[in-house]
Structure 1
């Protein structure tokens, strides 16, 4: 794997030299735009609409638009000077429980490996996090962006996940049509809970595949072989025209082969009295 960052994890006075590797990879199928007439890829030149000419990379600066059409410019030296002194340090600020963090905060995962002579400190931090069941909340700067991060253990590896800052999370008040109060039918709720229980199992990521990507790769191979791509869409399995919610729940339970929970029978007053006497 390619090293994307080198630095150290710092907690208290402990310094752990590490290398960082991207933990995930993009397997999306990317298309290029092609000129139909000759089959060549279309290039995108950077041009200035005012000068009406192509601009070379060395003539491009970074600018922030503070008003419509007005920019302040920064060169690379100025941007480097603004970077925090601890740009090469994953500074752990606190240790918290993983369950305290909403997954909404997480961005991208990275693997951390020990660098140089840091194996002893690396192993110490890894095992201490594992045995306490905590994760470290840290700050880090990657590619000119400061991020919060969570440092946790995956197998025998320290894993760091960048996180959004709180002000980057949009408020739920901006989401339209959310209910002010939750009102549900009790019988429907019990059936929905029964269905969830029936469909619940341990998480096994190997069972999930990208069906669209597989179909696209098959289509690409057909094109390479000079074959036409089958345009007939497969029908969605198990789909019905059930509109009524209760009927949909009932059909789902039957498909999952679970009998709906029978309502509890209430004891008659005479039966209760007999139970008390006995």
Structure 2
């Protein structure tokens, strides 16, 4: 379901309808009872009276210092005193490459909400300007009640809104390896990268569903599947492995296992 919002930058406000840009097609694995295969169901039970609670009677709550709970229902949350509740407030524009991909969360499409010529024109100008400059908008918004940072960028002529983690939500990786790299190793690695570049993600098959079908068929037939091959061990001779990989890529064989 689309959510009515507006993109605000400078003195310009563009009404948009925001909806999820992605969906999962993965096969669902349900929790079941190991003994008889019965589905495991989770119930909403109130810890005070022990009664099961219907979904429409479930609200949100915040524990207070005195031990009581402030109950917040949808009506109360709609009155949240937050300027970005129905607004995507653009704070500024930066080069796309300055946003660390690790910060990206969920993607949404923001399409024009108003058929009026002035509203559509503002939308189209914003999308075209982002595409031509290579800039992305850094914004604050509350698409799902909680305020988040977001990045606005064009995709196929449509404005895409990516929620991103706040800087303090991203963990640091720790110290990087310090083993020195030789010039020859780096030269061969760069050569291999050049030979292997050009992959189209759209051509890559998701083989999980096929593998799961094979597993289900084997289990129901009472037979076992052969265990998949494990990951390759790190090469003892890196130079030889790089050179062999380059030769294989030149023959169109890809990286040998």
Q: Are 2:253 and 1:253 equivalent residues in the alignment? A: no
- TM-score (norm: length of structure 2): 0.80
Q: Are 2:50 and 1:56 equivalent residues in the alignment? A: no
> Does structure 1 retain, via aligned residues, the 8 Å contact 2:63–2:70?
no
Q: CA deviation at 1:162?
A: 1.0
> Does structure 2 retain, via aligned residues, the 8 Å contact 1:48–1:55?
yes
> Does structure 2 retain, via aligned residues, the 8 Å contact 1:188–1:246?
yes
Cα 1:83–1:32, aligned 2, differ >3 Å: closer, same or farther? farther
- TM-score (norm: length of structure 1): 0.74
Equivalent in 56, 76, 82 of residue 80 of structure 2: 82
* Equivalent residue runs for 1:228-267 within 5 Å: 231-235=225-229, 242-257=235-250
Q: Are 2:138 and 1:137 equivalent residues in the alignment? A: yes
Spell out, residue by residue over 1:240-272, the C-alpha distance to the aligned partner (whole angstroms, 9 max, x if none): 7842322322332232248xxxxxxxxxxxxxx
Q: Are 2:183 and 1:186 equivalent residues in the alignment? A: yes
Q: For this pair of structures, how many residues does the alignment match? A: 245
Equivalent residue of 2:108, what SS? strand
* Structure ID, larger Rg: 1
> Does structure 1 retain, via aligned residues, the 8 Å contact 2:148–2:163?
yes
What residue in structure 2 maps to residue 23 of structure 1? 21
Alpha-carbon RMSD: 3.1
What residue in structure 2 maps to residue 276 of structure 1? none
In structure 1, list runs of 5 or more residues that go unmatched. 259-278
Equivalent in 178, 203, 207 of residue 207 of structure 1: 203
Spell out, residue by residue over 1:204-241, the C-alpha distance to the aligned partner (whole angstroms, 9 max, x if none): 22121212233214544x379x645651235479x578
Q: Are 2:104 and 1:110 equivalent residues in the alignment? A: no
Cα 1:230–1:14, aligned 2, differ >3 Å: closer, same or farther? same
* Distance in 1 separating the partners of 2:135 and 2:5: 22
* Distance in 1 separating the partners of 2:63 and 2:241: 52
What residue in structure 2 maps to residue 122 of structure 1? 123
Q: CA deviation at 1:89?
A: 0.8
What residue in structure 2 maps to residue 267 of structure 1? none
Cα 1:23–1:256, aligned 2, differ >3 Å: closer, same or farther? same
> Does structure 2 retain, via aligned residues, the 8 Å contact 1:23–1:109?
yes
Equivalent residue of 1:192, what SS? helix
Cα 1:86–1:178, aligned 2, differ >3 Å: closer, same or farther? closer
Equivalent residue of 2:212, what SS? helix
* Equivalent residue runs for 1:61-72 within 5 Å: 62-64=60-62, 72=69
Cα 1:72–1:54, aligned 2, differ >3 Å: closer, same or farther? closer
> Does structure 2 retain, via aligned residues, the 8 Å contact 1:219–1:229?
no
